[in-house]
Amino acid sequence: MRKWSRSMGEQKYRKFIKRSQQEPNVDELFKRVLDGDRMFLSKAITFIESNAPRHEKAAGELMQRLLPHTGNSIRIGITGVPGAGKSTFIETFGLMLCNLGHRVAVLAVDPSSTVRGGSILGDKTRMEQLSKHPNAFIRPSPSGGTLGGVHRKTRETILACEAAGYDVILVETVGVGQSEGVVRGMVDFFMMLAITGAGDELQGMKKGIMELVDAIIINKADGSNVELAKKTAREFKQILHFVQSPTDGWTPRALPCSSLKGTGIKEVWEMIQQFATETKLSGVFESRRKKQAKDWLHALIHERLQKLFFEHAEIKKLMPKMEHQVMNEELTVKGACDQLFSVFNRN
Ligand code: GDP
């Protein structure tokens, strides 16, 4: 009996200790993140990703303090269908950059994780070498919640990584749903990894992706595939010529590379550096970042308003009736909307 009660006490004590260790200490987090401490950066991101109110509050304070130390990076978005070679590319490209002395953070936006609760970077075997490099930081996609929520968390994570001294931020996404538009809205340079022989539709061309990209990289240009990859790159280059570029003053490029052999990878980096130099000189780099911050503010307001509306007690009560009347054509949609808003505005 005595043993049982003592062990219960110990359990409680351990829980207490664990909990207090998890409590955010904003001062310490701020200092350690600025020092580039990876463990504390991870901790900070855990608070950023948490939906617990006390974590959200601490993350908010932390982000405000980190803000003056952010922005000093190139943010690169990478998309491509599963199997195009994104993780292999990031491994090779990231390692090259780390060995050049850059500090590389790899993040992900995975729309499927919001449904399944899984993540594209959850698999530890991906980017095995890069994940061991002292200059690299790899963070799986935040799972759960809405795409909007994942969006906010990833944006704040980018800023936290920058404050921790990461100067190349790679944001990976799969070519699914709205994720490409979301990632385009948070990066400076956006590229698609393509492969030869896959149908246009499969590569996302029909979804308007061509209007989002600054470059198309034809991966797997090795072995017997080298010539075909070069030809595909030329074809993409021609198509890109007729598509409105997402970046003023920049004509999107198409380059072949082999992530497996490491060929053409240096050229991708040279192209991105050229892009950064040119757009910084023209002011496009800075104005895009400003616009992205403004758009982010608007997106956040939209999300909050939506939540406020749909979780409003009176609205929740009235909604089923309005839906019923609209479905049975007893009331116009606009009429139902007006009634709902009059209730919302009254309270
Ligand atoms: P992801 O789903 O886009 O992340 O693709 P992965 O990086 O997992 O690669 C899918 C497959 O393509 C794996 O079997 C890789 O080994 C292979 N792969 C990736 N890059 C290359 C490349 O440059 N050349 C060749 N031949 N295979 C590659």
The minimum-distance atom of ligand 1 relative to the CA of 172 is 4
Q: Could you tell me which CATH class the domain 70-283 is placed in?
A: alpha beta
Residue 9 near residue 137 (C-beta atoms within 8 A): no
Closest CA to 104 of 33, 156, 13, 168: 168
Tell me whether residue 160 is exposed, middle or buried, using C-beta atoms within 10 angstroms of its C-beta: 0 to 12, 13 to 18, 19 or more.
buried
Q: Is the dihedral of CA 122, 124, 127, 132 positive or negative?
A: positive
The minimum-distance atom of ligand 1 relative to the CA of 126 is 8
What is the whole-number distance in angstroms between the Cα of residue 238 and the centre of ligand 1? Answer: 25
Helix (H) or strand (E) holding 302: helix 284-310
Specify which residues 109 forms β-bridges with. Answer: 173
Model pLDDT for residues 69-79, shown as the tens digit of each residue: 999 999 999 99
Model pLDDT for residues 122-146, shown as the tens digit of each residue: 554 578 899 999 999 998 877 656 6
pLDDT band at residue 196, thresholds of 50, 70 and 90?
confident
Strands 168-173 and 74-79 come out as parallel
Residue type, 63: M
Cβ partners under 8 Å of residue 173, min gap 6: 77, 78, 79, 108, 109, 110, 111, 179, 180, 182, 183
**Ligand 1 contacts CB of residue 222 (under 6 A):** yes
pTM of the model: 0.87
The correct answer on CATH 1.10.260 for the domain covering 293-346 is no
- Determine phi and psi for 40, rounding to 5 degrees: -75, -30
**Ligand 1 contacts CB of residue 185 (under 6 A):** no
**Ligand 1 contacts CB of residue 283 (under 6 A):** no
CA distance 145 to 307: 13
**Ligand 1 contacts CB of residue 220 (under 6 A):** yes
Average per-residue pLDDT for the chain: 87
Cα-Cα-Cα-Cα torsion 153, 154, 160, 164, nearest 10 degrees, comes to 150
The minimum-distance atom of ligand 1 relative to the CA of 90 is 7
Specify which residues 107 forms β-bridges with. Answer: 171
What is the whole-number distance in angstroms between the Cα of residue 85 and the centre of ligand 1? Answer: 4
Model pLDDT for residues 146-193, shown as the tens digit of each residue: 666 677 789 999 999 999 999 999 999 876 667 888 899 999 999 999
The minimum-distance atom of ligand 1 relative to the CA of 225 is 26
Model pLDDT for residues 19-69, shown as the tens digit of each residue: 555 667 899 999 999 999 999 999 999 999 888 888 888 999 999 999 999
Model pLDDT for residues 220-264, shown as the tens digit of each residue: 999 999 999 999 999 888 888 888 899 999 999 999 999 999 999
Closest CA to 34 of 75, 69, 9: 69
Helix (H) or strand (E) holding 218: strand 215-218
Fold of 15-67: 1.20.5
pLDDT at 2 over 50: no
Specify which residues 190 forms β-bridges with. Answer: 77
- In this structure, what token pair is assigned to residue 218? 């034809």
Sheet of 136-138, strand order:
136-138, 104-109, 168-173, 74-79, 189-194, 215-218, 253-256
Q: What region, left, alpha or beta, does residue 142 occupy, with left being phi > 0 and alpha being psi -120 to 50 degrees?
A: beta
Tell me whether residue 149 is exposed, middle or buried, using C-beta atoms within 10 angstroms of its C-beta: 0 to 12, 13 to 18, 19 or more.
middle
Q: What pLDDT does 5 receive?
A: 47
**Ligand 1 contacts CB of residue 83 (under 6 A):** yes
CA distance 213 to 228: 22
Alpha helix (H) ranges present in 100-192? 113-116, 128-132, 147-163, 179-184
Residue spans of the domains in the chain: they are 15-67, 70-283, 293-346
Q: What pLDDT does 1 receive?
A: 38
Asked if 15-67 and 293-346 have one fold, the answer is no
